Amino acid sequence: MNRRTQRVTFHNPVGYKLCGILDLPLGEPTAYGMFSHCFTCTKDLKAIVRISRRLAEQGIGMLRFDFTGLGGSQGVFAETNFDTNCQDVLAARDFLADRFRAPQLLVGHSLGGAAMVRMAPRIESARALVTIASPSSTEHLAEYLDRANPGIGQEGEGNVTIGGRNYRLKKQLLDNLRAQDLPAALKALKLPHLIFHPDADETLPYWHAEKMFEWTGGPKSMITLDRSDHLLVDNPTDTDFVADLTRRWFARYETA
């Protein structure tokens, strides 16, 4: 095994302790990156673990962490929203900058990719952004949750089942998702942006990737994950493919 793992904790702006794992190469990392997970997921999602470890084996120290109220992190999930996710991203940035080195590579899966798009201009050390199966807007999630349980919007809160697990959600989350302008954030983006998207994604159809590629403002590339699914579980080789292409692509910007 040519990598090592370190469990870490840090605090978000309201004082909740967030849990993370830092996947590191055996030697000194050539760069550091951070990985934000999808809605209701955690840092331990198989795809995130495998991609982060593979990047660590190739020299990049990768921090993956749980958003507030999920996984090992403190807080109440029902009280969180897209804005709190974005604040958690900045807390992760500060942790890396204070304890190791400011992140140069930003990676996000699904809604975590949207959070990275939104926060990229506030991470001055960043040199490149990778999004995986990410949305071109946040409104789609609000509409999905509204359809799943109309009571959330009508009564102020309600339960939904996602991935076989039950979650209590509040109307404030839907309102917050609808208030975002992700297309504008994409158009304002200046970082090199690598977009991965499964062509068989039933959660976020492929047209989201096409819109992201159309709108994103910096140098851009897009890779179709043929016959792949939203969580990258159907084809076990997908995670190595994503990590290896990310590493080779990022090398263009790592020392720029």
Q: Which of 36, 218, 212, 209 is nearest to 128 (CA)?
A: 218
Residue 47: how many CB atoms within 10 A of its CB?
A: 23
Residue 26: how many CB atoms within 10 A of its CB?
A: 11
The per-residue pLDDT for 256 is 63
β-bridge partners, 175: none
User: In angstroms, rounded to a whole number, what is the distance separating the alpha carbons of residues 87 and 79?
Assistant: 14
CB-based contact 225:152 (threshold 8 Å): no
Question: How many residues make up the chain in this entry?
Answer: 256
Q: How do the pLDDT tens digits run along the chain, 256 residues long? A: 788 999 999 999 999 999 999 999 999 999 999 999 999 999 999 999 999 999 999 999 999 999 999 999 999 999 999 999 999 999 999 999 999 999 999 999 999 999 999 999 999 999 999 999 999 999 999 999 999 999 999 999 999 998 889 999 999 999 999 999 999 999 999 999 999 999 999 999 999 999 999 999 999 999 999 999 999 999 989 999 999 999 999 999 997 6
Pairing verdict, β 128-132 and 105-109: parallel
User: What is the pTM for the complete model shown?
Assistant: 0.96
Pairing verdict, β 3-11 and 105-109: unpaired
The per-residue pLDDT for 126 is 98
The per-residue pLDDT for 238 is 96
**150 CB-near residues (< 8 Å, 6+ apart):** none
Domains of the chain: 3-135+181-254 (3.40.50.1820), 139-179 (no CATH)
User: In angstroms, rounded to a whole number, what is the distance separating the alpha carbons of residues 220 and 227?
Assistant: 22
How far CA 239 is from CA of 166, 187, 196, 228, 236, in Å, comes to 27, 28, 11, 10, 7
The per-residue pLDDT for 171 is 97
